[in-house]
Structure 1
Amino acid sequence: MSHQTKVTESLMKTYNRLPLTVEKGFGSYLYDTEGKKYLDFTSGIATCNLGHQPSFVKKAIEEQLNMLWHCSNLYNIPKQEELANLLTQNSCFDEAFFCNSGTEANEAAIKLVRKWSGKEAIVTFSNSFHGRTLGSLSATAQPKLQQGFGSMLEGFHYLPFNDYESLTMIEELKPAAVMFELVQGEGGVRPANKDWIDQLVATCKKHHILLVVDEVQTGIGRTGTLFAHEQYGFDPDIITLAKGLGSGFPIGAMLAKSEIATAFGPGTHGSTFGGNPLASAAGVATVIEVMDLLEKVKSVSETLMSELQPFTKYPAVHEVRGKGLLLGIEVDHAASFIKALREKGVLVLPAGPNVIRILPPLNVSCEEINEFIFVLKQVFELQGEDHK
């Protein structure tokens, strides 16, 4: 048995890995071990928001690497404090807790809600995705993902997304919090309806129910504003971040208003690696760079959406939707289109069985958008021929 085969077989089979071994990445492109070049419109699942190896972030990490890699959170960590200040000064929040992933950030939010309110009931919505640890999986209203893991954490109530009857149910339940995504990423790239959100916010404020927004995928510029909730015109009580926050370095964050954050004191929650100097340095550089790109993201999103809308002429296409540079094309059997695109050197993702998820870097060029549209047209034309 070769060493390479042994390494592959030693990995637990928690992913259906594609027949592609990535060796390096620069900007909007990945390269496999055979030297083939791929236009990467996955961005590491909305993680490499500035593309691969962005120079500004790389420089910040290298500088920190020569100073300090890790120390205990029992000490003050300057880069961690700088990142917390950067996030709070550019948001409606007052305090930040750092961890290593979106799942961990959502776990922290669930604990904070319970500690602050003294209640367990939290409402989440159908087809949501909040993570895979037991608490965040319990919040995820997708029974298929929960199968085989025994009893879920008690206290979660699942209601239909974008459904006005859900608002009546929330009034009756009076939960501690409502936890939701403003664009359901894993749930099919489904944006929340603005009027529905307005009424949801009003309902929660009326009954003193906390608003917890999962911005793990939408945060840090992905939808055209630093946080997606800005476009919906309300201030949440808590948000969670990860993915795009560190340009690929593992980091998550929970931001909260001060009156709620006070529920966490010494010993109530923690994370050994959360907010370590390297991840924090990556976070500071990433946020600074992203804030300079927000107007471009809006412009590029309009261009890309205008290029994608004509694809609704194809019989296989049901809808084009999304916000900013988190876009989806609803089709029949997304896997076949995704495979065809990969074979032609373009990487995209599924969002459920029937949605092609498109996540270009926020600094994508017009030439790269044109390249993507050109290949996409080829694939849809070929798929049409195959189904004649």
Structure 2
Amino acid sequence: MSKPGPLCHLCPLESSPGPVWGVGPSTAKLAIIGQNPEKREVETEIPFSGTSGEKLNLHLSQQGISRNTSFVTNVVKCFVKAGQPVPSKALECCYPLLEKELSTLPHCKTYLTLGGPAFSIFSGKRLLTTTDAKGKYKKDPNVWLRGCPYIISHTAKKAIIPTVHPAYLGYTGNKDKFLFEADLRKAKRFADGEGIFIQPVFNYKPTSHEVEEYVKECIAKSNVGCDIETSEQVVADENELVGSSQGQIEVIGISCTIGEALGVPPDLFPLLKPLFLCRSLNLFVYNGLFDLYHLKVPYELKCTQIDVMLALHELHSDFSAKNLAIALSLYTDMPFHKNLAASKPDLYNCMDTYGVLWAGLRMLAKIEELGCTWHFFRFTNAGLPVCEALRLKGPR
């Protein structure tokens, strides 16, 4: 096999076995892009024909994805010893070869990247499998969460769905297998043209008339997402509960349509009263012990309150890393935005607000599909007042 790349002579893998080229039809709508070939792949000259390939083939088949109709390749074309990181220079040198491969796929608008290096070569971002409990990811603009579409072009509806490498599942005893499977299903939807591309629309300096009209629209549609921002960082993450500390509410975001939100400032808070008093309204929040705890100070809440965090626990009780970022990666088609709070606070609250509506509706649909609707509203979600009482008063 020759080394035909324009930068191969500069590559630290110039003397390594390879290259191994991608395989798949020119009509492919999905490109599956891994990191580098294993020893077995060098021997067969077929990407993902080794141990990782066996895992990949199994999961692709289980999620209804045909490998034969997909294009399968690696970012780096030459062999890298197991356990050794891919040299950054090799990624740089091989990228023109990857670009050339992808340019031969006129119908391909979805890239499923497997592992951090495959994603970072396109985005420059560091891939997170899950989010840390202390919320450090919120302060790092250079991270991206797996499962969150990275939009290449809104106009062309072209996106990357990043996920973990199949080898990662073996290293971790398959504990994150359901995340991998969810990401594969999302990649299939996008490849089939069913992915939802949204450019958020938001108004965080509304007039009183605009608030009144949007409240009427919310009541008419009956399902509303809500997210608040406070003056104090009383929680490091949406999933963290902190005593009875309470910050002053700076903005209340509301959304009755996926992709839009209205941010209501304190001087217009009284105009929201009809919304929260509406008994026929479903109000979706992520963490009721934070959002509802604060909202119950200025408002009497007569609407049905649905805690999306509790729905996440209902659906994924055995998964430890539960927060809004994970929920959005599993149940929406939203790009990652949880590190935008400091740089773009209005967009951040907007996406949290319509995101909790989007994820909440899909979670309730899943709960209904599983036949657990009665259990969720009778027990899980109904336990919210009890948890709140324990938080405020402590056990008696």
TM-score (norm 2): 0.24
| Structure number with larger C-alpha Rg | 2
TM-score (norm 1): 0.24
